């Protein structure tokens, strides 16, 4: 049984009681028999022995400099040594790729990310676009932090240097209570599984073609999430991305002219049967461009590599006043094996004209060759953590993925081209937080926006590699 903490108050009370007994004992002895006096003396002796033991234990505790080392003497005349524990408000430091500082219910985790990309785009000789050949870039340089404030409140703040500009990434305040999570700020609008997976946790270098072509991005908004058992429900109302709302210019390109808004939602069912984790989800999205309808809209996509900025698929300018889209998701994992697939439809609202509907989707299967699992939590896949990292007797984790990626930007009178892509990827994780990624992609285009001489139907090949550190 755990002993109670000994305090000066206990010591003072015991000493006072002993002193009173010793003072009154001679008086009491005059009116009691000898046997009763002997019993009283025995009780006093036992009490004195207990006080001595308490004092010995107190003397073995180092006093705190913030409190006096002793109090006034007790009735026995001996000073009481004060025991002090380590202050409860000390800050603790732990490590999770970067330092994590915590004090009581509050915490702060330093976060960062570095991604360096390079690649080779091989096209028919008759393609005159200068994006072909070798290219490389510092894809992302991200710094920030996240943590808890206490009382259920939390936060995340990240700045990213990408495409030679500094942008806000995840920048929000949260409140969590039971199954509910409320988020206010710049965050993802629950568009699709592939979009929500971290770019350092994806099975291939780049997300599915439709996520970029359809303009999936973080936006300023207020959202709510409910998670209980196998159910995850997410919904929110959003304006536009933080960089689109900046007031550094006036007119149609100024943030003060942007009053667009949208509503987004996603529902996930994640049952588990034995060792098999399944994932079923559906999402729906609606957006009103408001004054942005004065600017024409375009839907475009690169030839896989982000460092090659030319868009091989692209619609012409579309006079649109809004868009709606919805998607379906199916995924799962069992041990080292995982699979995923999505289908997504985007309908563009054109006043006075037929509304075109564009479609994109992918299917992939992957396996961790070294035996680890990819992990699944909160409606998305996680990252592979090596069981035997380099430096600890192993050589890390190795995973392989094969993906089919489709996108069509052709419908009604709009011709933006179609893509049929096959992507193979190997990811090596020598230690946690560090990954090396090499991909090969073959993309067949129809109605390509960039012609190959007089042809618009042709194929390209891509080799890409990435080094990334994420903590």
In terms of domains, do 73 and 117 share one? no
> Taking a C-beta distance cutoff of 8 angstroms, is the pair 261, 287 a contact?
yes
Instruction: For tokens 């049952």, name the residue.
Output: 271
Residues 368 and 436 in one domain: yes
- Bridge partners of residue 436, in order along the sequence: 428, 467
Residues 190 and 67 grouped into a single domain: no
402, part of any domain:
yes
Q: In terms of domains, do 77 and 145 share one?
A: no
Structure tokens at 254: 């100024």
Q: Alpha-carbon distance 291 to 288, whole Å? A: 9
Domain of 339 in residue numbering reads as 112-470
Q: How far is CA 61 from the centre of its chain?
A: 44
8 A C-beta contact, residue 42 and residue 25: no
Same domain, 150 and 34: no
Say which CATH number the domain at 179 has: 2.40.160.10
* Residues whose CB is less than 8 angstroms from the CB of residue 27 and which lie 6 or more positions away in sequence, other chains included: none
In a domain, 93, yes or no: no
**For the chain, what is the domain count?**
2
Under a CB-based contact definition with an 8 Å cutoff, are residues 180 and 224 in contact?
Answer: yes
Residues facing residue 232 across a β-bridge:
227, 268
The closest alpha carbon to 470, from 108, 114, 99, belongs to: 114
- Select from 81, 104, 124 the last residue of a domain: 81
Q: What confidence score (pLDDT) does residue 1 get? A: 43
Same domain, 291 and 236: yes
Note whether residue 466 is domain-resident: yes
In whole angstroms, give the CA distance from residue 440 to residue 304. Answer: 10
Instruction: Kindly state whether residue 88 falls inside one of the protein's structural domains.
Output: no
At residue 35, the pLDDT reads: 63
Task: Look at residues 405, 357, 344, 306 and name the one whose alpha carbon lies nearest to residue 216.
Answer: 344
Q: Are residues 215 and 291 in the same domain?
A: yes
CA distance 122 to 20: 99
**348 lies in the same domain as 402:** yes
Quickly count: other Cβ atoms within 10 Å of residue 267's Cβ: 17
Asked whether residue 94 is assigned to any structural domain, the reply reads: no
Asked whether residue 254 falls in the same domain as residue 320, the answer is yes
Residue 335 lies in a domain: yes
Question: Rounded to the nearest 10 degrees, what angle do helices 34-59 and 8-29 cross at?
Answer: 160
160 and 66 co-located in one domain: no
Return d(Cα 187, Cα 214) in angstroms, integer. 17
Number of neighbouring beta carbons within 10 Å of residue 163: 12
Query: Domain ends where: 39, 64, 81?
Result: 81
Residues 414 and 319 in one domain: yes
User: What does DSSP assign to residue 303?
Assistant: S
Q: What tens-digit pLDDT sequence spans the chain (471 residues)?
A: 444 444 444 444 445 444 444 444 444 444 455 666 576 677 667 666 765 766 666 555 444 444 333 333 433 343 434 334 444 458 999 988 889 999 999 999 999 999 999 999 999 999 989 889 999 999 999 999 999 999 999 999 999 987 777 888 999 999 999 999 999 999 999 999 999 999 999 999 999 999 999 999 999 999 999 999 999 999 999 999 998 888 765 566 667 889 999 999 999 999 999 999 999 999 999 999 999 998 899 999 999 999 999 999 999 999 999 999 999 999 999 999 999 999 999 999 999 999 999 999 999 999 999 999 999 999 999 999 999 999 999 999 999 999 999 999 999 999 999 999 999 999 999 999 999 999 999 999 999 999 999 999 999 999 999 999 998
Q: How many whole angstroms separate alpha carbon 270 and alpha carbon 376?
A: 10
Question: Are 40 and 150 within one domain?
Answer: no
């Amino acid at each position: 049984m755990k002993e109670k903490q000994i305090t000066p108050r206990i010591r003072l009370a015991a000493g006072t009681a002993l002193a009173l007994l010793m003072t009154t004992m001679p008086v009491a002895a005059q009116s009691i028999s000898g046997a009763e006096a002997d019993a009283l003396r025995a009780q006093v002796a036992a009490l004195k022995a207990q006080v001595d033991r308490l004092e010995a234990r107190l003397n073995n505790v180092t006093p705190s400099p913030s409190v006096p080392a002793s109090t006034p003497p007790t009735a026995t005349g001996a000073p009481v040594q004060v025991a002090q524990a380590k202050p409860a408000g000390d800050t603790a430091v732990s490590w999770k790729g970067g330092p994590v500082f915590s004090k009581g219910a509050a915490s702060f985790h330093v976060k960062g990310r570095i991604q360096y990309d390079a690649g080779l785009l091989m096209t028919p000789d008759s393609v005159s676009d200068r994006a072909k050949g070798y290219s490389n870039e510092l894809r992302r340089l991200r710094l920030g932090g996240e943590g808890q404030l206490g009382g259920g409140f939390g936060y995340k703040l990240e700045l990213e240097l990408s495409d030679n500009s500094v942008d806000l990434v995840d920048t929000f305040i949260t409140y969590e209570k039971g199954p509910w999570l409320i988020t206010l700020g710049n965050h993802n609008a629950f568009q699709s599984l592939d979009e929500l997976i971290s770019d350092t946790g994806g099975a291939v270098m780049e997300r599915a073609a439709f996520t970029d072509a359809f303009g999936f991005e973080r936006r300023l908004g207020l959202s709510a999430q409910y998670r209980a058992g196998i159910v995850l429900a997410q919904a929110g109302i959003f304006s536009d991305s933080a960089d689109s709302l900046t007031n550094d210019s006036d007119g149609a390109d100024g943030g003060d002219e942007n009053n667009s808004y949208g509503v987004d939602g996603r529902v996930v069912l994640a049952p588990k049967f034995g060792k098999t984790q399944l994932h079923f989800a559906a999402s729906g999205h609606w957006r009103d461009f408001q004054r942005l309808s004065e600017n024409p809209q375009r839907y475009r996509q690169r030839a896989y590599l982000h460092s090659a900025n030319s868009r091989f698929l692209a619609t012409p300018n579309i006079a649109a006043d809004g868009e709606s889209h919805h998607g379906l998701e199916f995924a799962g994992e069992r041990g080292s094996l995982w699979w995923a697939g999505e289908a997504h439809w985007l309908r563009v609202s054109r006043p006075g004209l037929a509304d075109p509907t564009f479609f994109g989707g992918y299917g992939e299967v992957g396996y961790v060759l070294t035996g680890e699992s990819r992990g699944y939590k909160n409606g998305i896949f996680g990252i592979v953590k090596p069981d035997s990292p380099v430096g600890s007797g192993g050589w890390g984790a190795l995973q392989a993925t094969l993906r089919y990626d489709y996108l069509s930007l052709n419908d009604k009178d709009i011709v933006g081209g179609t893509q049929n892509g096959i992507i193979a990827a190997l990811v090596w994780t020598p230690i946690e937080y560090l990954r090396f990624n090499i991909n090969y992609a073959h993309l067949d285009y129809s109605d390509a926006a960039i012609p190959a001489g007089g042809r618009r139907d042709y194929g390209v090949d891509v080799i890409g590699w990435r080094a990334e550190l994420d903590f």
